[in-house]
Amino acid sequence: MIEKENVKLNESLKEHTTYKVGGTCKYFITPKDIDGLIDLLKYLRKNNIKYMILGNGSNTIFSSSEYDGVIINLCNLNSMVIEDNKIYVEAGYQLIKLSMDALNNSLSGLEFAAGIPGNVGGAIFMNAGAYKSDMSNLIKTVTFLDENLELKTLKNEELDFSYRKSLFQSKDYIIISAVLELTPGKKEEIKDLMDRRKERRIESQPLDYPSAGSVFRNPSEDVFAGKLIEDLGLKGYQIGGAKISEKHANFIINVGDATGEDIKELIDLVKVKVKEKYNIDLHVEQRFINFGE
């Protein structure tokens, strides 16, 4: 069913999250193709074995406990074809790489994604975005496995996209591929915009430490989570190896041997402080996994 080289035992999840935290998982499996994925899921369901789909781990915080089940990574679902201004791409394809492919084909629309270290499936799941743009602006259709493991396709307007949300967050669906529609542009202008944004990221974000990007959603267009945290004097506050960045207060960084528990405790503390001071409930963009809750 699954080739041996696609199965790792007692795999460290630190190697599969951008925070570089987590315990081990019993099995880490990378199915070869869609048929292999379906066969694996049927087996796991039949035998009542716990599992989860993990992309690049760029928005995931694992506890230090063992994940007593199967982590499935779709990195082998990574085909990509560009036809005119449409991109046909599978879920395991890297988003940053896709933004460069768009640039090289003089297609505009993915400039915002040049600094997002996720894969296409995760980006659609979270409706990832930056610079007032997101995946929902580009998606034409998404193909996925439904709860019965049947391949289905939905159009953009059927996917319930909103700020950092999609239909997939409330359904037992697994994203397989998507069709994106971009706008023809001038390569030099697209590259110039991406370069300027890269310089801004280097100046304003702690890119030299493991992190998972912005921790909290901005409460509104004119209220920024990072500003609220900074005004509370929490820049540089540290629990264990987890620290609120002194460069950008909406980033938590791993400055040593941080654990998922350190990060969660720091996130919980920030939420309490912001609630007490501003009566604002900050929404965490990242997911906590295997914390026994």
**Catalytic position from the list 11, 90, 111, 285:** 285
User: Measuring CA to CA, which residue among 28, 205, 174 is closest to residue 92?
Assistant: 174
Would residue 15 show up in a list of annotated catalytic residues for this protein?
no
DSSP H or E segment with residue 68: strand 67-73
DSSP 214: B
289 backbone dihedrals φ, ψ, rounded to 5°: -125, 135
Strands (E), the chain: 7-12, 24-29, 51-54, 60-62, 67-73, 80-83, 86-90, 107-108, 129-130, 133-134, 139-145, 151-155, 174-181, 183-184, 238-239, 242-244, 252-254, 287-289
The number of C-alpha atoms within 13 Å of 286 and in the hemisphere containing its C-beta is 27
Residue 282's SS3 state is: coil
3-state helix, strand, coil in the chain (%, to 5): 30, 30, 40
Q: In Å, what is the CA distance from 1 to each residue of 33, 41, 92, 158? A: 11, 11, 20, 34
**Catalytic position from the list 133, 164, 197, 230:** 164
Would residue 164 show up in a list of annotated catalytic residues for this protein?
yes
Between strands 24-29 and 60-62, the pairing is unpaired
Would residue 63 show up in a list of annotated catalytic residues for this protein?
no
**Catalytic position from the list 58, 63, 99, 214:** 214
Find out whether 63 and 23 touch, Cβ atoms under 8 Å: yes
User: Given strand 242-244, what is the order of strands in its sheet?
Assistant: 238-239, 242-244, 252-254
Specify which residues 108 forms β-bridges with.
183
**Residues with catalytic function:** 164, 214, 285
